[in-house]
Amino acid sequence: MATAATAAAVPAGGRPYRYRRARPRCGPPRLHRLRLPAAAAAAAASSSPLAPSTPAPPPEGGGRLVAELVGAFNELTERMGEELATSSSSSLLFRALKLALPALRDADGGRALARALAVAASLADLQMDAEVISAGILREALDAGAVSMRDVKAQIGISTAHLLHESLRLKHAPSKLYVLDDESASALRKFCLTYYDIRAVILELALKLDMMRQLDDLPKYLQRIKSLEVMKIYAPLAHAVGAGNLSLELEDLSFRYLFPHSYDHVDQWLRSQESECKALINLYKEQLLQALKADDELKRIVQDISIQGRYKSRFSTMKKLVKDGRKPEDVKDILALRVILEPRCDGTSSDWGPRACHRTHEIIQALWKEVPGRTKDYISRPKENGYQSLHVAIDVSEPGKMRPLMEIQIRTKEMHRFAVGGDASHSLYKGGLTDPGEAKRLKAIMLAAAELAALRLRDLPDSDRGVGNCKNPAFCQLDKNGDGRISIEELTEVMEDLGAGGEDATELMHLLDANSDGSLSSDEFESFQRQIELMRSLEDEDDHYRKILKEKLHTVDSAGLIHVYRKELGDKLLVS
């Protein structure tokens, strides 16, 4: 591949992770591209908020390795959030990146590294700890034979090595024989959850998501086998462990490869109205929030109100359409809102929760057109499994503009907690688990594993020079002796770890050391980071414009019709 390897992957529920390889080691240098940020910054210096204060050209050669390391590190720690990115976690992540980057950057035309970082981003978005994220980065390097388990143990630590060991065992668990039969698939899912470290299961799920995003590269028969495996084993597993968004994306991707024609119909229908419906969801959400907050009765009995919105996934829509042959206009939850109310705790009356929900229902009735006969009050009459919520369907069509219905679920925070994690949990509802005890047990194991990891990665007051002092985690990783400056020795060490020579370190120092005092202050390092960010944002913009242009230049048939699906097809797809 002659140009920079650029991988964009949309992690479940998160923004896309984009790994950009600065410059391939072989092939023609991309000078015009490398110069672009500085030139663009100079041209737009007065107007663009992206313009860096120092429009120096970005570093070449070995310096690019450090830029890649710092760029990837910053992106991942940002995704993890402050609470998870303690200094021990940051240090672990930094070591994993330092080991993986040189091992992977030339593998598979740069794509191996892009994959490793996309997996790491998915795990960070799922709020996994640094051990799991590091294992995610290194798994690709292990598979490629570029690092050994011994390297991982010595340089990263025993816990990450253990996770990798478990994930490798898991990788070999399924076989075609299991997947083709629903009972075996169900047994295998249980086996995975019982016998393997649950964090390794989540790592495996992130790896599967990445594999599914790259499926176009495989021959057709392999695409189908892998998709079937994902549909029967991994997507329900993701539901079962509560990784909801990840499971939806896994389902949609496997649906696309297993039933391309059906997928096209659903996709076209949903896509044709997607941006309008999503805008509508946001608008309704805002309107409703304002109306609820302004209501005197709610003010008296409720202390917090939140509203979530969602547009239905491809596979979930398809299942409904084929389940009982209903028409698209009868699927009542293509657009959806969920109101979660927290009653005041000083309430003397125990029915403030239900009252708040019913009051919310009245406010919705006053605002919009409720579809008669579609309301379900599981608050007055809870479902057998204890699920409580009030569901209404709203007609959001306008004269001359038919739209799918909008479902609004109304519940208290406590009811919501039960719907997510209790006996009526979503993992049971959708994850193919039948035993409430099992869902609770899984949750307990997962929490215990996460707690243990948090304990291991907790920063002791006197360790690592203290978390509070480190305003710039990437700088602190490079400033090994903690004297507040990056010396040439410190820079050389990291560059050698990355596979570059000492002369590259001198060159980079020369480029970044604005006051020529022979070391880098945090200010000098920050302007280097701003350059890295600028390069990344320019490519994001390019991607954004490319998508808009692609859509504008290829007009899609907006009247895509859903055909009637056979019931058997729907039944076959339902997870046992």
Ligand X SMILES: Nc1ncnc2c1ncn2[C@@H]1O[C@H](COP(=O)(O)OP(=O)(O)OP(=O)(O)O)[C@@H](O)[C@H]1O
What is the contact surface with ligand X in residues (CB under 6 A)?
A: 244, 248, 308, 310, 312-313, 316, 333, 336-338, 407, 409, 426
Give min distance, CB of 357 to ligand GTP, in A: 14
Nearest alpha-carbon partner for 508 in 523, 525, 485: 525
Residue 310 contact, options Ca ion, ligand GTP, ligand X, none, Cβ 5-8 Å cut-off depending on partner type: ligand X
State the distance between the two ends of the chain, measured CA to CA, in whole angstroms: 43
* Residue number, 513 or 543, with CB nearest to Ca ion: 513
Among 73, 234, 387, 525, binds ligand GTP (CB under 6 A): 387
- For 268, 331, 416, 485, the CA distances from 349, given in Å and listed in that order, are 50, 37, 20, 61
Candidate residues 330, 483, 503, 571; the one interacting with Ca ion per rule CB under 5 A = 483
For the CB of residue 391, give the shortest distance to ligand GTP in the complex, in Å. Answer: 4
Q: Which pair of structure tokens corresponds to residue 428?
A: 């049971």
C-beta closer to ligand GTP: residue 332 or 359: 332
Q: How far is the CB of 358 from ligand GTP (least distance, A)?
A: 16
C-alpha span between 181 and 233 (Å, rounded): 11
- Nearest-approach distance from CB 365 to ligand X, in angstroms: 17
Residue 375 is a binding residue for ligand GTP (CB under 6 A): no
Query: CB within 8 A of 347, min separation 6: which ones?
Result: 301
**Residue 140 site contact among Ca ion, ligand X, ligand GTP, none (CB < 5 to 8 Å, cut-off depends on kind):** none
Residue 515 engages Ca ion in binding (rule: CB under 5 A): yes
Q: State in angstroms the smallest separation of the CB of 385 from ligand GTP.
A: 5
Residue 424, binding choice from ligand X, ligand GTP, Ca ion, none, Cβ under 5 to 8 Å by partner class: ligand GTP
Report how many residues bind ligand GTP under the rule CB under 6 A.
13
Q: Provide the mask over 281-320, with x wherever binding to ligand GTP is found by CB under 6 A and - wherever it is not.
A: ---------------------------------------x
Residue 385 binds what, of ligand GTP, Ca ion, ligand X, none (CB under 5 to 8 Å, by partner type)? ligand GTP
465's CB contacts (< 8 A; 6+ apart) are 87, 476, 482
Nearer to Ca ion, 424 or 520 (CB): 520
Burial 410-430 (b: 16+ CB within 10 A, else e): bbbeebbebbebbbbbbbbeb
In the bound complex, what is the minimum distance in angstroms from residue 77's beta carbon to ligand GTP?
33
Find all residues with CB under 8 Å of 94, minimum gap 6, and list them: 69, 73, 474, 477
Out of 162, 224, 271, 376, which residue is the one contacting ligand GTP (CB under 6 A)?
A: 376
Q: Residue 515 binds which one of ligand GTP, ligand X, Ca ion, none, with CB within 5 to 8 A depending on kind?
A: Ca ion
Q: How long is the chain? A: 576
In the complex, minimum distance from the CB of residue 133 to ligand X, in angstroms, rounded to a whole number: 23
In the complex, minimum distance from the CB of residue 414 to ligand GTP, in angstroms, rounded to a whole number: 14
Q: Which residues 415-434 are close enough to bind ligand GTP by CB under 6 A?
A: 419, 424-426, 429
How far apart are CB 427 and ligand GTP at their closest, in Å?
Answer: 9
**Smallest separation, CB 428 to ligand GTP (Å):** 7
The listed partner (ligand GTP, ligand X, Ca ion, none) that binds 232, CB under 5 to 8 Å by sort, is: none
* CB-nearer residue toward ligand X: 130 or 439: 439
- Residue 513 as a binder of Ca ion (CB under 5 A): the answer is yes
Count of CB atoms situated within 10 Å of the CB of 572:
10
Binders of ligand GTP in range 320-349 (CB under 6 A): 320, 332-333
Contact 426, 385 (CB under 8 A): no
What DSSP letter does each residue of 331-355 carry, written as one string? -TTSEEEEEEEEE-TT-S-TTHHHH
DSSP 138-153: HHHHHHTTSS-HHHHH
The CA distance from 190 to 182, in Å, is 12
Q: Of 313, 310, 231, whose CA–CA distance to 267 is shortest?
A: 313
Given ligand GTP, ligand X, Ca ion, none, residue 472, with its beta carbon under 5 to 8 Å by kind, binds none
Q: With contact defined as beta carbons under 8 Å apart, do 536 and 72 qualify?
A: no
Binding segment toward Ca ion, per CB under 5 A, in 129-137, 277-285, 484-492, 568-576:
484-492
Alpha-carbon distance values, 71 to 7, 22, 337, 451, 457 (Å): 14, 11, 36, 29, 22
Cα atoms found within 13 Å of the Cα of residue 180, Cβ hemisphere only: 4
Which tokens belong to 407? 């479902």
Report what 481 binds from ligand X, ligand GTP, Ca ion, none; CB cut-off 5-8 Å by kind: Ca ion
Q: 476 phi and psi, to 5 degrees?
A: -65, -30
- Whether residue 554 contacts residue 268, with contact meaning beta carbons closer than 8 Å, is answered with no
Phi, psi of 370 (to 5 degrees): -80, 140
Distance, in Å, from the CA atom of 383 to the CA atom of 24, rounded to the nearest integer, reads 59
Q: Which is nearer to ligand X, 109 or 421 (CB)?
A: 421
Select the binding partner of residue 479 from ligand X, ligand GTP, Ca ion, none (C-beta < 5 to 8 A, by kind): Ca ion
**Closer CB to ligand X, 139 or 256, in the complex:** 256
Strand partners, 369: 395
Q: Is 310 helix (H, G, I), strand (E, B) or coil?
A: strand
Q: Please identify, using beta-carbon distances, which residue of 62 and 431 lies nearer to ligand X.
A: 431
Distance CA 300, CA 290 (A): 16
Q: How far apart are CA 539 and CA 352, in angstroms?
A: 51
Two tokens at 178?
A: 């299991």
Picked from ligand GTP, Ca ion, ligand X, none, the partner binding residue 387 (CB below 5 to 8 A depending on kind) is: ligand GTP
Shorter beta-carbon distance to ligand X: residue 124 or 394: 394
User: Which residues here bind ligand GTP, judged by CB under 6 A?
Assistant: 320, 332-333, 376, 383, 385, 387, 391, 419, 424-426, 429
User: Which residues here bind Ca ion, judged by CB under 5 A?
Assistant: 479, 481, 483, 485, 487, 513, 515, 517
